[in-house]
Structure 1
Amino acid sequence: MEFGLSEDQVMLQETIRRFVADEASLDTIRAIADQESGAQNVLDEKIAALGLDGLLVPEPEGGSGLGVLDAILVQECFGYGLVPSRFLANTVAAYAFGASGSELAGNIASGAAKFGLVLNDVVSRRDSSGIQVSGTSVTGKSLMAINVRDATHLLFYSDDAIHCGAPDETSVVKTIDRTREFFEVAVAGADPDAKTADVEQVFAVASVLIASDTLGAAQAMLDKAVVYASEREQFGRVIGSFQAVKHLCAEMAAKLEPCRALLWHAAHAIDENDDEAITMAYLAKAHMSDVATFIARTSTEVHGGMGFTDLVGLHYWFKRIGVNRQLFGTPMVLRERAARQQGLVA
């Protein structure tokens, strides 16, 4: 049996890849990181025109009716270009409510509903953090929420369930990744009709999407290392001709390529409701984080001193990988959750 992408999936990824190359240059990402007025809004409008938010929304609800495998192909392209997009949050929300018949799914596809994602409490919560729900009343706050600015809804975790609510007070949380905004948020109230107990399933989708974002960032760092090694001269020859540099680039490629198949399999397992889908998603995210951390470090080493300069901008990808590693669970946390799924840990 040969497992690969369909022609439509290849075309989808090529389309998004071209969009990222044309519309999300390093100068654009640098402007967003520097919070230049309007840079993010312009990019958001162009992304919205692609109609990607309804990717997982069923066709009767106005969406494309595609699967998680299609979604991670898009997110990989966004990760490659460091594109800060609401696609991840809207896609997770569409998955959470798409099969329930909720009108939220159709609103996501039409652009009327814009979601922020508040799911880090599933795996990591400080003593001062946490959201509690009682009926429609919500108290408490949560950290490391993403896509909150201009959001109409929040997808958040509380009491072993995924809820939907309206955003209330927000404050920016600074991280090393300046290409995205993170927030501490409070929720104004919960919608009792928009609730799902499939926490692990929804969280698995969020995990595999973040992992695909990391895959894109790691691929970008590898590509940049190879290009730099083929152009940079030292001692009268390009550094890529030195065996040590060849080995560094080859080791990065050898570690990264299997990750792509691992993520495809995890997403496909979710789409097919495979019994091991959740376990595969957690292990895929954990392994991708470790591999990407190695690539981030090694790519920087190949660049030498230039790897630390803003001129090259390699640090933007380095920091994206670092924050993604922590977001929605570190490798250690996710491997423990995977072991629990398999009954290996009580």
Structure 2
Amino acid sequence: MRFALSEDQRLLQDSVVRALAAFAPLERVRRFADQEESSAPDIWQGLAEMGLPGLLIPEEHGGLGLSLLDAALAAEALGAAVAPTPFLGSAVLAPLALRGGTPEQQARWLPRLASGETTAGVAISEAVAGARDGAGLTADGGRLSGRALFVIDAPGADLLIVADRTGALHLVEAPPAPQAMRTIDDTRRLSEVVFEQVAAEPLGGNEGLDRLRDAAWVMLAADTLGAGQAMLDKAVAYAKERRQFGRVIGSFQAVKHLCAEMAAELEPARALVWYAAYAFDHAPEESTVTAAHAKAHLSEIGRFVARTSTEVHGGIGITDLLGLHYWFKRIGLNRQLLGGPERVREAAARAQGLVAA
């Protein structure tokens, strides 16, 4: 069996890369970060025109009906561009959650998500990664109360997908106003949302919290893969042009070894991410284990590549002028969002029966 991307998948990823070069160059990302914009609708609208929000939405609801592997390829491109978009919430997690919704909920929301007209936030951090500071939501009589932290893609969202303390999923059509949470990554916005008897609709079906968690882990791993590849490419390019002692630094054995080590660590991780995304749709019994391994391993590899690429750049690597820190910090947030590598490995061990649930 030859496990590789199809021609259509390569074309999809190339199209996203070209679109991001036009819609989200580093100057646009820097403006988003420096001006602390809550969202970047111009970037999202540009991607919506090529159908990116509808990747996982069935064709009958205006989407493309593709697989999580296709979404992972897009996530890799977004990570490489450190693009500020609501892709994870609106294009991946909300459409998957709505598979468990009623026909009326699907007919109402999926076409709007597919067109990019509507964006969705996702509040599952406490249910997936454990509650902190007393956060967590309680459902009672169709209403939610409590506090959700690290809510993904909440600014400007028209609906929220929310997990309560029991892990049950709910759809909130009129979400409360989110409060910005400051993180190390200025290319994305995480929020705190307080619920006070907010009306919510239940979401059932097979695409429950565990499936959303697995998909999110794969997307974060793919995003880190893209960011890590971008940092490696930048290090190699810099080593070819920076001169020291009358020679380009790439000719020094120590610098060659640093670049080779990054490539040797990163390239095998690509197949791991691809297979985790493939298993989500085609081998669901392996989904949790493969998604957990992808998230945990890319968390470690990403940190190594981020540090090593910065070292290759020397002093300029930590300056705002170069902008390398955007990729460095994006990898750092991906590492901890929805569970750090230790917690994720524990989930993989539980899924294999190696530790008690």
TM-score, length of structure 1 as denominator length: 0.96
SS at match of 2:261: helix
Determine the structure 1 residue equivalent to 2:95: 94
Root-mean-square deviation (CA), in Å? 1.7
Matched, 1:190 2:197: no
Aligned to 1:170: 178
Report the CA distance between 1:174 and its aligned residue: 0.6
Q: Secondary structure at the match of 1:329?
A: coil
Shift of 1:195: 7.0
Deviations 1:269-312 (A, max 9, x none): 01114311111001101000100000000000000101011111
The answer to whether the 8 A contact 1:214-1:324 is kept is: yes
My pick for the range that moved more, 167-176 or 226-235, is 167-176
TM-score of the two chains, using structure 2 as the length reference: 0.93
- The alpha-carbon distance between structure 1 residues 37 and 201, as it changes in their structure 2 partners (threshold 3 A), is closer
Give the C-alpha shift of residue 186 in structure 1. 2.5
Confirm whether residue 312 of structure 1 aligns to residue 304 of structure 2: no
Count of matched residue positions in the alignment of Structure 1 and Structure 2: 346
Q: Secondary structure at the match of 1:175?
A: coil
Aligned counterparts of 1:22 and 1:107: Cα–Cα separation in 2: 24
Contact residue 100 and residue 208 of structure 2 kept, 8 A: no
Q: 1:147 to 1:195 in 2, by over 3 A?
A: farther
- For 1:194 and 1:341, the matched residues in 2 are separated by 22
Distance in 1 (alpha carbons) for counterparts of 2:281 and 2:255? 40
Deviations 1:45-65 (A, max 9, x none): 212222211111111222111
CA contact (8 A) 2:147 2:192 kept: yes
Give, as a single letter, the amino acid of the residue that structure 2 aligns with 1:183.
Answer: S
Cross-structure match for 2:69: 69
What residue identity is the alignment partner of 1:97? L
Q: How do 1:192-341 residues align onto structure 2 when only pairs under 5 Å count?
A: 192=202, 198-341=208-351
Counterpart-to-counterpart distance in 2, 1:232 and 1:110: 45
Work out whether 1:142 is the aligned partner of 2:138.
no
> Residues 194, 108 of structure 1: CA spacing in aligned structure 2 closer, same or farther, 3 A cutoff?
farther
Residue 199 of structure 2 aligns to a residue in which SS?
strand
- Counterpart mapping for 1:8-157 below 5 A: 8-35=8-35, 40-90=40-90, 91-98=92-99, 100=101, 101=103, 102-103=106-107, 104-121=109-126, 122-157=128-163
1:160 equivalenced with 2:167 (yes/no): yes
Other structure's SS at 2:285 match: coil
Stretches (4+) displaced over 4 A:
36-39, 193-197
Percent pairwise identity: 49
Distance 2:39 2:335 in 1: 26
Query: Is the alpha carbon distance of 1:96 and 1:45 closer, same or farther for their aligned partners in structure 2, counting shifts above 3 Å?
Result: same
2:15 partner amino acid: T
Change (3 A) 1:37 1:332: closer
CA contact (8 A) 1:207 1:285 kept: yes
Counterpart residue identity of residue 44, structure 1: W
TM-aligned CA deviation for residue 39 of structure 1: 8.2
Query: Deviation of residue 110 (structure 1)?
Result: 3.3
Unaligned runs of 5+ in 2: none
Q: Secondary structure at the match of 2:175?
A: strand
> How far apart, in 2, do the equivalents of 1:325 and 1:59 lie?
33
* Corresponding letter in the other structure for 1:105: L
CA distance in 2, matches of 1:219, 1:95: 28
